[in-house]
Amino acid sequence: MVSELKATYEEQGYVVVPGLISDEDRPELEAACDRVITLTRKGTWPHRRTVGKQFPPYGDDNPDSWGVQHVMHPELGEPIFSKWYTSQPLVGVAKSLLECHEEDLQMELFNLLINPEGHNFALRWHRDDVSEKATEEEEREALQHWHYGIQWNTALYQDSCLYIVPKSHKNPRTEEQRSHSNGMAPPNDPSSMPGAIRLTLQPGESVFYNSNILHCATYSSAERRATLHATMGDVRGGSSRARNILQHGLDWMKEDKFRAGLDEKSRPMLDRLIAMRNSAGEVGFSLEN
Ligand SMILES: O=C(O)CCC(=O)C(=O)O
Ligand SMILES: [Fe+2]
């Protein structure tokens, strides 16, 4: 039977779920986020999303950051991140949305989205792994094959950064939607996109969304943001997610040190990612900056 969660996710392209951070994990996650944000803003942690670059590769040109990359990296020394990523309530939602078994789950990205300190910034309307230059036919084809992964944002503090167009994970853009999403620059007014809604997450809420839904985001330097941003895959998708995931540079996940920090149960999940990594050639990048 299809769960209610899955039915909403399938129909709308997103679903909001409360309560995936336990009372025990919450203070630990907050404190770990504070520490990694400090390291990133100081320039000590080099893996970050820089203001001025909307998509990978993020480069190193701007000292201001809108994201901390690879929070499970052993060099950050924050085991709470992998503990939470593999926690049962979260894994339960992943299985339900992917309609798969635990043995199919593939460990993927885990990053943190933060407010830039000195500049406002924004991302243009996009689908994560389909170019805005795609024809209607190419878009239709790409969307048909996008069932093997989930992406989510879990807000530690109230977060109204993300805009999406519900149901656009199934449909190519209309002519009018195309005209709002054919340039490289972020929109002046995201609410002018036909069908768009602005999502507000309360602290502790998660939005699971199809990462090829039409979406954009705005980042205010004045509003505190610390939002856990992650993806999980279904190994039955083969290499379909390789570019989308591996473009972020996940070679560090092959190191013994990372594996050693995971519990027995989570290691096979990592092994599935490594198998995808080992069979993928050069993946390139999904979108242009
Ligand atoms: O900031 C967000 O919530 C969305 C980020 C995003 O769309 C992306 O990194 O592709
Ligand atoms: Fe995106």
pLDDT in tens, 13-44: 999 999 999 999 999 999 999 999 999 999 99
Does 253 reside within a domain? yes
Write the pLDDT tens digit of every residue in 114-151.
999 999 999 999 999 999 999 999 999 999 998 999 99
What integer pLDDT is reported at residue 212 of this predicted model?
Answer: 97
Confidence check: pLDDT of 249 > 80? yes
Does 141 reside within a domain? no
Domain that holds residue 31: 4-119+147-163+199-214+221-279
Q: Whose CA is nearest to atom 7 of ligand 1?
A: 216
What integer pLDDT is reported at residue 206 of this predicted model?
Answer: 98
What integer pLDDT is reported at residue 1 of this predicted model?
Answer: 64
The DSSP 8-state label assigned to residue 4 in this structure reads H
User: What number does the ligand 1 atom closest to the CA of 227 have?
Assistant: 3
Q: Whose CA is nearest to atom 1 of ligand 1?
A: 217
User: What number does the ligand 1 atom closest to the CA of 49 have?
Assistant: 9
Give the CATH number, domain containing residue 97: 2.60.120.620
State in Å: Cα 76 to ligand 2 middle: 25
pLDDT band at 239 (very low <50, low <70, confident <90, very high): very high
Does 239 reside within a domain? yes
Number of compact structural domains in the chain:
1
The DSSP 8-state label assigned to residue 167 in this structure reads T
Give the C-alpha separation, 261 to 25, whole Å.
17
Confidence check: pLDDT of 250 > 80? yes
Asked if omega into 57 is within 30° of 0 (cis), the reply is yes
Give the C-alpha separation, 45 to 53, whole Å.
17
State in Å: Cα 35 to ligand 2 middle: 25
Q: Would the CB of 128 count as within 6 Å of ligand 1?
A: yes
Give the C-alpha separation, 71 to 172, whole Å.
34
State in Å: Cα 217 to ligand 1 middle: 6
